[in-house]
């Protein structure tokens, strides 16, 4: 049964293939819960993608069906990555697209981590 009206998880999506090591990436971090790498088309001086290790197609899927341990592990990893990259002093932005209106392109839940310059308005107006 699809979660929240989305198609079922597609194990051939590009981030699943990166997680399996089938396609290269510029890796930033890995632990039991999360994997992080540089976005191929960066929108800021630092643009890192953080994905959970588990097969979740979106934030809706992850927040509803991942275990508490996976959710806590993932969120802690996002914070650690930002800290270890030295982004806390100047600040950073997290963003997760979910579904059609957000423009989500890759159907494996991911958080964008942007930093390295003033990031402007949250949503271009
Ligand atoms: P979204 O629109 O939130 O699904 O974001 C997908 C992001 O994945 C975009 O910012 C793309 O530039 C990025 N992306 C797509 N393919 C790759 C790849 N092979 N390696 C790194 N980033 C990628």
Number of domains in the chain: 1
pLDDT of residue 1: 45
Among the atoms of ligand 1, which is closest to the Cα of residue 96?
A: 3
Confirm whether 53 is domain-assigned: yes
Confirm whether 112 is domain-assigned: no
* Separation of alpha carbons 30 and 52, rounded Å: 10
Confirm whether 102 is domain-assigned: no
* Separation of alpha carbons 98 and 58, rounded Å: 6
Q: Which domain holds residue 29?
A: 10-84
Confirm whether 116 is domain-assigned: no
Mind telling me the catalytic residues? 110
Confirm whether 5 is domain-assigned: no
Tell me, what CATH number does 79's domain have? Answer: 3.30.428.10
Could you report the per-residue pLDDT of 41-64, keeping only the tens digit for each?
A: 999 999 999 999 999 999 999 999
Could you report the per-residue pLDDT of 85-97, keeping only the tens digit for each?
A: 999 999 999 999 9
103 CB within 6 A, ligand 1: yes
* Alpha carbon of 86 to ligand 1 centroid (Å): 23
Confirm whether 74 is domain-assigned: yes
In this prediction, the residues of the chain whose per-residue pLDDT falls under 50 are: 1
């Amino acid at each position: 049964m699809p979660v929240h009206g989305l198609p079922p998880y597609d194990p051939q999506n590009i981030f699943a293939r990166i997680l399996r090591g089938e396609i290269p990436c510029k890796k930033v971090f890995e632990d039991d819960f999360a994997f992080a790498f540089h976005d191929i088309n960066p929108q800021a001086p630092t643009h890192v993608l953080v994905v959970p290790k588990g097969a979740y197609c979106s934030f809706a899927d992850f927040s509803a069906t991942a275990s508490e341990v996976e959710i806590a592990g993932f969120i802690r990893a996002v914070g650690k990555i930002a800290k270890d990259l030295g982004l806390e002093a100047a600040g950073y932005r997290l963003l997760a697209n979910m579904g059609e209106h957000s423009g989500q392109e890759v159907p494996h839940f991911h958080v964008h981590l942007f930093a390295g310059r003033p990031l402007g308005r949250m949503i271009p107006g």
